[in-house]
Structure 1
Amino acid sequence: MSAAVGVLIVDEPQDLCPTVRATLEHLPELQTLHEADLAETELDHLVALVFIDARRVGDGLAQIGALKERQPRLRVLAAFQALGGADLGALLAAGTDAVIARSGSPRDLSAAILALAAGQERLSGPHGEPQPESGEALGLTPREAEVLRFLSAGFSNKEVARRLALSVRTVETHRLNLRRKTQTGRLKDLVSLARQLGLAPVLEESRAARH
């Protein structure tokens, strides 16, 4: 990507590692913006890095919705520590394009932003090499993360489809996308990935409800 990517940092937490913002501000490929800049910027690629506070998910959803309404071509990368399935579904409905663990390194966050701006389905490292082993840099969509949460708990495609009100074929498609992005379909790898992404486990009563 030759043109710079405009990056809007939203709801930056006070305890965020200071090197994160410093990295984003000094990379030549990125140009940090303020909300007031959105209406006037001539940059072709715009990404909002929205930090989601698990205690105030509703605030993050409102921010995403407002930003998308003001700038429809803005792509949204949501960074979080841990979210449940309902929250992931709400992020999807609000217009989130990809999710990433907040614990990702500045390099992971930068790579995610650049890949999202370029329309890539799979995120890569700074030199373009794939990093399937890193759950923090996979660029899963909120729906894929939601499906992963159930698959990692041992639910079948049919059970996932019923609980998320999706068709079995749609779940199968998401599962294929997860396999392509992670290069694995083994249950233990899915469990490990879900933990890396901080996805809240399926509650025991939800598991019991299957029977």
Structure 2
Amino acid sequence: MTQASDTIRLLLIDDHPLVRDGLRLRLETVPRLEVIGEAANATAALAFLQECLAGHPQGNTLPHLILMDLNMPGMGGLALTAQLHEQYPQIAVLVLSMHDSAEYIVQAVKAGARGYLLKDEPAQEIVTAIHAIMAGRMYFSASATIHLSETNAPAILLTQRERDVLRHIARGHANKQIAQDLNLSVRTIETHRLNIKRKLNIEGQAELIKYVVEHRNL
């Protein structure tokens, strides 16, 4: 998002139509939020994203953020989050789940989610989370934050791809070289850099290198 006035495009993924209907009705009352699609499972969600790219290869019609349940038939939410993080790193994922254990929360964030809320949270909490994530922050419900504080986060929250990128950064490699080595686009590497900074709450290359030195088992 480049301006606060931009409309945030949302995709809802949940296998329960009533849940999707409720989310759509609530979110579409909020200015500058637009639900552009719904999906009941991973296959439908990935097909929707491909349709977006087919019409606009530059990704101008892709959702900015996906609200996703973890329990779905077929490919589960964790696997789908990981695939989205790999194929569409520019799209933020906000998990809405009934699971409040640290294991689920950590796995979701390691897969690439930028936020985690429980399904019984007030609707306004979802809106707050969406705006926070679009402003470049991560967002967790109060209970999720408590569970994360009991782990050795944020070190364990990096995805494998983010760890690969961070190792290259620590070696002083520029984005272009990292992109070539990992067979990714420069834009994707830039997105991974931003995600790493969000998760580690650090700024600048010097701090990134310091982090890797202090966490050699990364």
TM-score (norm 1): 0.52
Q: Tell me whether 1:71 sits opposite 2:113 in the alignment.
A: no
C-alpha distance in 2 between matches for 1:92 and 1:122: 11
Tell me how far 1:65 sits from its aligned partner.
Answer: 1.9
Percent identity for Structure 1 against Structure 2: 20
In structure 2, give the amino acid aligned to 1:112: A
Q: Tell me whether 1:48 sits opposite 2:66 in the alignment.
A: yes
* Match among 3, 8, 16 for residue 6 of structure 2: 3
Q: Tell me whether 1:115 sits opposite 2:132 in the alignment.
A: yes
Contact (CA 8 Å) 1:51, 1:80: kept in 2 or not? yes
- What does residue 169 of structure 2 align with? none
- What does residue 135 of structure 1 align with? 142
Tell me how far 1:49 sits from its aligned partner.
Answer: 0.5
Contact (CA 8 Å) 1:13, 1:51: kept in 2 or not? no
Q: Tell me whether 1:103 sits opposite 2:120 in the alignment.
A: yes
Tell me how far 1:101 sits from its aligned partner.
Answer: 1.4
In structure 2, give the amino acid aligned to 1:116: I
- What does residue 147 of structure 1 align with? 148
Contact (CA 8 Å) 2:13, 2:20: kept in 1 or not? no
- What does residue 19 of structure 2 align with? 16
Distance 1:30 1:82, change over 3 A: same
Q: Deviations 1:85-122 (Å, cap 9, x if unpaired)?
A: 22222112210111111112222212211221122456
In structure 1, give the amino acid aligned to 2:26: T
C-alpha distance in 1 between matches for 2:97 and 2:124: 16
Q: Deviations 1:34-70 (Å, cap 9, x if unpaired)?
A: 33354234269711101123x8797011211222233
* Match among 16, 33, 36 for residue 36 of structure 2: 33
Contact (CA 8 Å) 1:4, 1:45: kept in 2 or not? no
Provide the alpha-carbon RMSD of the alignment: 3.5
C-alpha distance in 1 between matches for 2:60 and 2:20: 30
Q: Deviations 1:14-49 (Å, cap 9, x if unpaired)?
A: 452843211223433112123335423426971110
C-alpha distance in 1 between matches for 2:65 and 2:116: 12
C-alpha distance in 2 between matches for 1:28 and 1:4: 8
Q: Deviations 1:131-157 (Å, cap 9, x if unpaired)?
A: xxx838xxx6xxx45433x3xxxxxxx
Where has structure 1 moved over 4 Å in runs of 4 or more? Answer: 55-58
- Count of matched residue positions in the alignment of Structure 1 and Structure 2: 138
Larger RCO (CA under 8 A, 6+ residues apart): 1
TM-score (norm 2): 0.51
